[in-house]
Structure 1
Amino acid sequence: MNAAPELPELDPVIHAPARLRVVVTLNALEEGDQIAFPGLREMLGMTAGNLSVHLSKLEDAGYVEIVKTHKGRTPVTYVALTRRGRAAFEEYTVAIRKLLEAAETGKD
């Protein structure tokens, strides 16, 4: 009997559906680019409060950088994926691919 292949662990910070959508969206930006909070919120169709909660978890993990500044007198919040966040997303996608390959192999 063959031993089952060891399946990779998925990063729980990224794996939550809403956070996965955030990371995928931010990963589409060029490294070093950022997006204004309202634009990200609109793209994702999330409420400001919900997006804020998920961004806080991603920021705590070091996956996103949040910069609060002013444009004239108006406060503006920018969000960007960090290098650590990009690396974590790459590891996550590798783990997902391995899980899918294992599922396909198990069908034989």
Structure 2
Amino acid sequence: MTAENGTPDPHEPPVHPVTGLDEVVHQRVRLGILAIAHEARRVEFGYLRTQLDLTAGNLSKHLSVLETAGLVEIEKGYAGRRGRTWITLTAAGAAALAEEIERLKLLITRLETTDTPEDR
């Protein structure tokens, strides 16, 4: 917690930035899915599979976790005669990705300003 003036409350232990990392978002593959989906309006399943070097089954499981959490929408359809699956980042997904990135930035800043054992 912070005092009214925005400074940390000296009576409360500091919270480490890793405590705010989201287990659903932070997993390497799911973070990759969200990042790629953020870069595009809509991304095709095969593109994600190739970019993240995954099997179709593995990617499907991760997409299911993200869809259940409301972070992506999955749309199935056809391009010509071929079945296609498209993934779109939801507003909640964009917010969760932004929060994860902020937490990682806090962690990086903290580590960059910490002495290494060699400096002590």
Please state which band the TM-score falls in when normalised by the shorter chain.
0.7 to 0.9
1 or 2 for the larger relative contact order (CA 8 Å, sep ≥6)? 1
What is the identity, as a one-letter code, of the residue corresponding to 1:40?
L
Matched, 1:64 2:75: no
Q: TM-score, normalised by structure 2?
A: 0.77
Greater Cα radius of gyration, structure 1 or 2: 2
Aligned mates of 2:43, 2:76 — CA distance in 1: 12
Aligned mates of 2:99, 2:74 — CA distance in 1: 22
Aligned-residue Cα RMSD (Å) equals: 2.2
Matched, 1:99 2:110: no
Matches within 5 A, 1:19-38: 19-29=30-40, 33-38=41-46
Matched, 1:48 2:56: yes
Q: TM-score, normalised by structure 1?
A: 0.84
What 5-or-longer segments of structure 1 have no aligned partner? none
Tell me the CA shift for residue 12 of structure 1. 0.5
Conserved? CA contact 1:5–1:102, under 8 Å:
no
Aligned mates of 2:74, 2:59 — CA distance in 1: 12
Moved segments of 4+, more than 6 Å: none
The share of aligned pairs that are identical, in percent, is 40
Aligned mates of 2:28, 2:59 — CA distance in 1: 12
What is the identity, as a one-letter code, of the residue corresponding to 2:15?
E
Q: Which residue of 2 aligns with 1:14?
A: 25
